[in-house]
Structure 1
Amino acid sequence: MSQPPSAARRAWGWARLLLAVVVSACALAGVVRLTVPATAGTAGEPPGVRRQLAFLRAALDTGAGDEAQALFPEGYFFLHALYGLSWVELGMREPADGRSRALREARWALSRLDSPAGRAPFSPGLTPPYGVFYRGWSNWLRGGVLSLEPAGRRDPAGVRRFAEDSAALGAAFDASASPYLAAYPGQAWPVDSTVAVASLRLHDAILPARFGGTVERWLREVRRRLDPRTGLLPHRADPGGGAPAEVARGSSQSMIQRFLVDVDPAFAAEQYARFRELYVVTPLGLGPAVREYPEGVDGPADVDSGPLPLGVSLSATVVTLGAAQAHSDAPLASALAGYGELAGLPVDTPWTKRYAFGLLPIGDAFLAWAKTARPWVARPPSAPAATVSWWWRTPLLILLTALAAAPWLPALRRRLRPAARG
């Protein structure tokens, strides 16, 4: 005579059932996140970005900038800059009379860059003062704010400051033996100069042109100093003459490819094709990702790259989404965004959206900026040949489907056994 199940056995049965439901629900949620579009190209507004920015503003108001500064030297600056740039991107997608919120938030972010806290990590003794990193990114955001303002009603002080800072950058490039200005004393990263030169192109697009010669000289000097292993701009350069000092790396290339299209679209297309060839990979066949070092080269992780599982940099992968959008590479941008929706563990509410449970707001800032990226000066380029197939999701979908079904297989086998004996 069978005995009724004990309370402990019943509790264990309910716990297993609950675990099975949770595992299956998470796997099926992953299927949905992997298949629902996460980008809107360069014309539409990417879904969820405004809610990301709502989360970021609340985080900034409660000290996220100072927390980011404790993680890496430009944390405070970058978090505010990317927040402001994302609002500029959204404002550019709106009619002129609907940009008030975007302008307000972008100006607020710019004011934080102009503060003592924004300038704190940088040296006033550099040329230009505070270095090319600080001047380049600030100038890019300042030009973005002016781009949102109606041409006849731009803030005169903002126009004057943009013209003065652009002139300081232009003079520094003209006087330098290297195309790569210093960001810190004795240290130069080509990505920082690329941002600064893009801001000079932006100046000539919205104010009377004056930096065409400076930009052309910069391009000539850059072509003479490409990384010999990859044919790309190096990660780090000698601050004196600009000779490559470190092989091209994904964490800086992902940004260079985002800005270079606004400097010289033809040169940018060549560089982007080479970057995709050497750095965009599919580790274990599970979705596209971006290596920190070119295939065949291994190197150490650092604060720029983050951890490097299988040689892949998460930060480079996120920012490459923006580079792909800027180059009209919709298949790669869509795949990277879709993979991010799965692997980034997003938490949605009606008011906010955050990734990785909101533990690292700087990651959300980079992702929001990447999702909204598009050229500001150049026309959107023709789409390059696709390197991501339409079926890139298939291995992940199979894996998630198997994961959703796995908790129910033992019960299914038990049900089928009596039928089989009968």
Structure 2
Amino acid sequence: CNTTALAGLRAAAAAGVVVAPELPGRWLAQAQDSLVDEGTGLLISSYTWEGARLDGPEGSSIWMSAHNLLLLDPAFAHDQYARARAALGRSFMGFGYAREWPAGDRGPMDVDSGPVIPLLDASPGSSGLAILGARAFDDHDYLEELLAALEYAAFPSEDAGALRYRASNQVGDAVLAYALCFGPLWTRIREAMA
């Protein structure tokens, strides 16, 4: 994901590495000009080298992208999170989940989306990354609903004092661990940018 690479450059710059300052700005200008879905205003998830759309917005991409954008363009980041929350975020009886695609824009299921649960159109991949988004944007109510769904539907178990979610895998575990503990380092990078 381009936003992950650009956020990595911001982190490197905060650590004292010399980074070409124009790169993030050029990518952001192009993204806002030609990589935003006309219907939702969300960044599309994949495109050609020339910038032509391959796939529309996907939950398994946008939550992480919005989080990364906090280090690049906070206003655009908040806009993308709000749009993702409106188009993809769902709550039902105190449980939160996220769709993989906006209504009417179903894309192909792939390794990122994982299986989509019928009727609800709930995507475990998008829902897991929505935890990162909710945490990054201080959306406490949605975060609590997502965590309630995780505890209910992801088959938590404890083994040798370690909590494990049986419905997850190593990537899902890494996303969840990062989502729940990224704050202090992220704050330090943002302070170094100021």
> As a proportion of its length, which structure holds more strand?
2
Task: Determine which of 18, 23, 29 is the counterpart of 1:214.
Answer: 23
Alignment of 1:261 onto 2:100: no
2:110 aligns with 302
Q: d(CA) in 2 for partners of 1:362 and 1:256?
A: 17
1:243 aligns with 52
Q: d(CA) in 2 for partners of 1:245 and 1:361?
A: 27
After TM superposition, the score normalised by the length of structure 2 is: 0.85
Q: State how many pairs are aligned.
A: 185
Q: d(CA) in 1 for partners of 2:141 and 2:88?
A: 16
Q: Is the 8 A contact 2:132 2:175 kept in 1?
A: no
Q: Which has the larger radius of gyration?
A: 1
Unaligned runs of 5+ in 1: 1-191, 380-422
Q: d(CA) in 1 for partners of 2:89 and 2:129?
A: 12
Shift of 1:298: 3.0
Q: Mark the CA change 1:321 to 1:303 in structure 2 (over 3 Å): closer, same or farther.
A: same
Q: Percent identity?
A: 32
Which range moves more in the overlay, 209-218 or 324-333? 209-218
Task: Determine which of 378, 382, 394 is the counterpart of 2:190.
Answer: 378
Q: d(CA) in 1 for partners of 2:20 and 2:140?
A: 32
SS at match of 1:282: strand
- Structure 2 counterparts to residues 216-365 of structure 1, below 5 A: 216-225=25-34, 226-239=36-49, 241-282=50-91, 285=93, 287-309=95-117, 310-349=120-159, 351-356=161-166, 360-365=169-174
Q: d(CA) in 2 for partners of 1:328 and 1:256?
A: 16
Shift of 1:275: 0.8
Q: d(CA) in 1 for partners of 2:14 and 2:115?
A: 39
Unaligned runs of 5+ in 2: none
Q: d(CA) in 2 for partners of 1:312 and 1:254?
A: 15
Shift of 1:280: 0.3
After TM superposition, the score normalised by the length of structure 1 is: 0.41
Aligned partner letter, 1:287? F
Q: Is the 8 A contact 2:94 2:148 kept in 1?
A: no
Q: d(CA) in 2 for partners of 1:194 and 1:269?
A: 14
Shift of 1:237: 0.6
Shift of 1:300: 3.6
Q: Is the 8 A contact 1:227 1:247 kept in 2?
A: yes
Shift of 1:349: 4.0
SS at match of 1:288: strand
